[in-house]
Every structure is written in C-alpha cells, then in structure tokens.
Amino acid sequence: MNEKISRFLAERQPETPCLVVDLDVIAENYRALRHYLPLAEVFYAVKANPAAEVVSLLVGLGSNFDAASVPEIDLVLGLGASPDRISFGNTIKKQRDIAWAFERGVRLFAFDSEAELHKLAEAAPGAKVFCRILMTCDGADWPLSRKFGCDLEMAKDLLIQARTLGLDPHGVSFHVGSQQTDLSQWDIAVGKTAMLFTALNEAGIELKMVNIGGGFPARYRSEVSPVNAYADAVMHAMTSHFGNRLPAMIIEPGRSLVGDSGVLQTEIVLISVKSYEDNVRWVYLDVGKFGGLAETMDEAIKYRIRTQYAEGACGPVVIAGPTCDSADILYEKAGYEMPLDLKVGDRIEILSTGAYTTTYSSVGFNGFKPLTAYYI
C-alpha cells in the first residue's frame, strides 16, 4: 500500500468498506505503457473503472477510449474527449445505439457476426469496422473466450462483406483474456491476425489496423512480469508475423492501467469456526462478492490482503462477505491464511482493487450500499 493511500486512510478514517484510488498510479501506468509500446495507440477500456476522475485524467493524458455502451460513450464525450478518440468496441450493440454513436461522430466499431455487420451498414454507413477473432484465452485468470469473436474463415468472409455493404474494413481485433500471464498468447493471436491480413490482401482488401485488446495484468497474489516484458512480447509477435510492414496498432488496457491504483479497506465483522475440532476460521468482512469483489467468482482473481499484523503466526481461513447469500464466499479453496491475532473490528486492506470493483457492486443487496470510492 503506498504512502498517499495510507495517509488518506489514517487521516480520514472513512467508513468501510471503501475503495481509495491513487490517480498518480494510473498516470504513471499510462506513461509506462506509452513508453514501452510507443507504436500502439491506447484505447482505455472504460468498463474497468468508469469514474469521472479516472476518465478525465486519461482524457488529459491524450488517451483514446474503448467504450461498450451509450452511457460509456456519453461519459467520455461529456468529459471532453472528441468522438474520433472513441471506439465502440462491444460486438453486441443495438442498432439504435450504433446510430446514436454515429450521429455523435463515432466512426470506429467492432463486430464479430454477420447480423452485427448488417446493423453497422444500416446505422453507420462508411464507418471503419474491425472484426474480432476468437481466442481460447489459455493462461488467463479471467478469460473472455467463447462469447466473443469468430473463427478466421468467417472473419475473412465478413471483412470482405463489410466492403460490399459500404463499410470500411479497417482491421482485426482480439483479446487474449484478462489477467493473461502467458506471454506467448500474443504470438498466437498476432499469427492468426497476420494470416487474415494475407487472406484479405488476396481479396484486394488492405487491412490497416491490429487491435491487440487488453490482457496486461495487475499485481494480485502471484508475481507477474513487468509491463516492458509484455510490450516486448507484443512487439516481437508483430515483427515476426508482419516483418517491416507493420500495421497501425491499438491496445485496450483496462486492468493494467487502473488495477494497482486502488486499495479497498474493509472491517472484520465476525470471526468464527464451524465446530470445536475445526482449525479453519471463517473471516467475514463488510465487503463481499456483492459489494464489488465479483471477480472472486470461482476464486479467479486472488487479491493480496494486508493486515496490521506483519509478524506473528497465521492460520488457514475461509474469507466471506456479509450478505445472506451462501454464494458470498470470496476464498475457500485458494489456501488463504491470516494472522491468528486478527480480531473482530480490525480494518484490513484488499490490494490492487482499482479495476472491476466499483461498478460490479450491487445497488443494495441486503441493504448494503454500493461501494464508496475516493479518487485522490
């Protein structure tokens, strides 16, 4: 936990649960990404954290935006980004929402199906479109597979059809899966993309852009490679498959820009055991799956947890949220241990919670308020 956030928590003693986001960390992550991957234009994936403070900061730093819905586009436009800095990157859009975005000047759209292509042709004539290809997302802690993308054969036909329909077949996108820890995945994805470029070339269409999606990590329980290693893997894949005829590149980071900027402080509500013989303590927090920690689903994302007891023995725990739903267990199988000194009323911190938390929190399940966040 950094100085600035510690000081804020110590001085303000905010009510828990609360998320504190250090905007300087986001700015630093943005600059590092630009530094190590200068050839890629950054389109921040707004869904990761759509707070006005975060979006404003990134507008000021020159970022572009990957938006998924009318409200996200409206938000970004309202905070001063021009429409040419927005990609409507969701492959599942209502035609009237496409029309709404097009009227406001958005000209870059994703698709992965024929029906979506027809909507785009109707509602966004002449717009630049890119086709998302299917990935297996092996090695990702939070896969984005199956639901998105189409195979190469279909992608080829659809990109040709895009031109017939009066659209501008602009490029190809993929997402190797969020919190992707296997650096070789980008080589597989870029290899497929390059095959598609060749196939389209033979059909007389010159694609111009590769959208390498998100997937760069935040720092959870396991160590991850630094951003420069990811950037090297991406550039190595690009040059090995495209040689010196590199197309334009787009990257859509979400988690890697904002994840490590946030610390969630929570209070211990209860510590108990289920029987006299049991050595596993149940630790109930005032935040859980319905309070913003939805990515603990299937114990996929394993956050680091900090307590005030740096020394002293630890023992096994199950960690759960405060609601009356038995699905509201954060970690049971992941092997978490916590200090034996831990007591009811202690405040503890869940680290790297700046991405995919605030907007995942429910509107008031069991009467618990949505997660409060401070942007400092």
Ligand X SMILES: *Cc1c(COP(=O)(O)O)cnc(C)c1O
Residues 168-207, interacting with ligand X (CB under 6 A): 175, 178
Residues in contact with ligand X, total (CB under 6 A)? Answer: 16
Residue of 18, 137, 314, 324 with catalytic role: 324
CA dist., res. 42 & res. 73, Å (int): 16
CB of 253 to ligand X, least distance (A): 5
By the 8 A CB rule, do 150 and 132 touch? yes
CA-based nearest residue to 177, from 150, 139, 149, 209: 139
Nearer to ligand X, 210 or 342 (CB): 210
For residues 256 and 266, which CB has a smaller minimum distance to ligand X in the complex?
256
Read off φ and ψ for residue 244, nearest 5 degrees.
Answer: -95, 10
| Binder among 17, 50, 169, 215 for ligand X (CB under 6 A) | 215
H runs (alpha helix) in 243-335: 255-258
Minimum CB distance to ligand X smaller for 156 or for 255: 255
**Binding flag, residue 358, ligand X (CB under 6 A):** no
Q: Which span sits near ligand X by CB under 6 A: 16-24, 40-48, 50-58, 288-296?
A: 40-48
Among 47, 119, 156, 302, binds ligand X (CB under 6 A): 47
Please tell me whether residue 255 binds ligand X under the rule CB under 6 A.
Answer: yes
Strands (E), 148-199: 168-173, 178-180
Contact flags string 76-95 toward ligand X, x per CB under 6 A = -------------x------
Positive or negative: CA dihedral 168, 104, 258, 59: positive
Between 214 and 339, whose beta carbon lies closer to ligand X? Answer: 214
131 is catalytic: no
Measured from the CB of residue 344, what is the shortest distance to ligand X in angstroms?
A: 35
Instruction: Report the C-alpha gap between 185 and 234 in whole angstroms.
Output: 9
Q: Quote the CA–CA distance of 169 and 192 in Å, as a whole number.
A: 17
3-state secondary structure 204-258: CCCCCEEECCCCCCCCCCCCCCCHHHHHHHHHHHHHHHHCCCCCEEEECCCHHHH
Q: Which residue has the tokens 């787009």?
A: 250
Q: Single out the segment in contact with ligand X by CB under 6 A; choices: 97-105, 202-210, 251-259, 283-291.
A: 251-259
**Residue selected from 18, 45, 190, 371 as contacting ligand X according to rule CB under 6 A:** 45
Is residue 254 involved in binding ligand X (CB under 6 A)? yes
Which are the catalytic amino acids? Answer: 324
Give the footprint of ligand X on this chain (CB under 6 A).
45, 47-48, 66, 89, 175, 178, 213-216, 252-256
